[in-house]
Copies of this chain bind each other. A is one copy, B any other.
Amino acid sequence: MAEPSARERIVDAAFELFAERGYDATTVEDIAARAGVGRTTFFRQFRSKEHVVFPDHEQLLTAIAARLATATPRTAVVGVSEAAGLVLQHYLDEGERARRRYRLTRTVPALQERERAGIRQYERTFTRHIHGWLGGTPESLLRAELIANAVVTGHNHVLRAWLRGHLATAGEARRAFRAAMAEVESHVDLPGREGAAADPLPAVLVVRDAADLDRLLPQIRDLLA
């Protein structure tokens, strides 16, 4: 009859008890007892009491890395967007449990920090791949970090709206996600835009008045020749 694994029983027991008594008032021994396992087994499955709240984090992280690994500089935009979309979709699939976790983490500072630590791992994964696409030079590292942070921030912004119920359906959430990714892309210069590889990016000139224009015009014509 497909007995749920010990790991799943622990997660279920933990979420039940956290809902009943709150996070702090629940001990690991309580969770283990309800799940029908020893306290030792709990810590074999989860590194800490906090980790049981984010049971799929590790798996999600490897999924992101796998998606990013298949992208190239030419397909960076869609690769990054899809990798972030994997996370969003996972939460949408989780449904009510994701929202319960959100309400729980909002009230428990320790869990907020744990969540941030997880997000940080996402950022580092994105940074690593984007940095690679940018050539891996020290000068491009800051740009890679800026882009990675922007992508993760955009994703989290939409996810948070959905978790709070501001976006009712999964379809709405995905639409908002596409909009957020578009806004993020408009703020950062990710490789892989149309034509970006074909001709070099134009330089930017700031022309304040007609005198500026007349002064610069010869050099402009020269560059365009």
Question: A-side interface residues toward B, CB under 8 Å?
Answer: 113, 116-117, 120, 141-143, 145-146, 149-150, 153-154, 157, 180, 183-184, 187-189, 199, 202, 204, 206-210, 212-213, 220-221, 224-225
Contacts and interface: CB of A to CB of B under 8 A. Distances in A.
Contact of A221 (B145, B189, B210): B210
A213 B202 contact: no
Given A202-B207, A208-B202, A157 B184 contact: no
Copies per complex of this chain: 2
Contacts of A213: 220-221, 224
A110 to B, nearest CB: 10
Contacts of A116: 113, 116-117, 120
Contact of A142 (B183, B202, B220): B183
Contacts of A224: 207-210, 212-213
A215 to B, nearest CB: 12
